[in-house]
Amino acid sequence: MKIGYVRVSTQEQNTIRQEVMLRELGVDEIFIDKASGKSTDRSELRRMMEYVRKGDTVIVESISRFARNTRDLLELVERLTAREVEFVSRKEAIDTTTPTGKFMLTVFAAVAELEREYILQRQREGIAIAKQLGKYRGRPAKKYPDFDRVVTRWRAGEISAVQAIKQLGMSKTRFYARAKK
């Protein structure tokens, strides 16, 4: 069975191009994630990894759609290989059924990771320059108008921390960090 995997980084991004390419290749099932590739903890990736069976082939548009770093890519492909599932990346023409394909997978994974690091480096440099020019201020701090009142009630023992956090609609970590000040 041919299994397709599609990933885009955000809900707003379109998956059509990847889906069309996979349909043209005759995939039987497509799993689609709209999530960052930074982590392999993606719902459809997990579902796909549970779904595949011996003799299946997982096809992706490019290795960057499957994993963002060499370690994750090699780990995912190793898990597929252990289940006797082949891996094919169209863009890089990688097919893990051959020794050359396995070698090229490692090389391309390292190149993809390097490219991602360059992108992040350029982004950091651009932000630093924008800050120097006064054009970048970062994300504005979220306002919690009832914060002081709720924290006062929490400190007085009138409400629990869980209740305070729920009333404010903030994370536990943010609540304690702001309440400490």
For the annotated catalytic residues, the residue numbers are 9
Q: How many residues does the chain have?
A: 181
What sign does the dihedral 75-81-83-85 (CA atoms) show? Answer: positive
The stretches of the chain forming alpha helices (DSSP H) are 16-24, 43-51, 63-66, 70-82, 99-132, 147-155, 161-168, 172-180
**What does the alpha-carbon distance between residue 39 and residue 68 come to, in Å, rounded to a whole number?**
8
Q: 69 Cβ partners below 8 Å, 6+ apart?
A: 109, 113, 116
Quote the crossing angle between the two packed helices 172-180 and 147-155, to the nearest 10°: 80
Q: With beta carbons less than 8 A apart as the criterion, state whether 28 and 1 touch.
A: yes
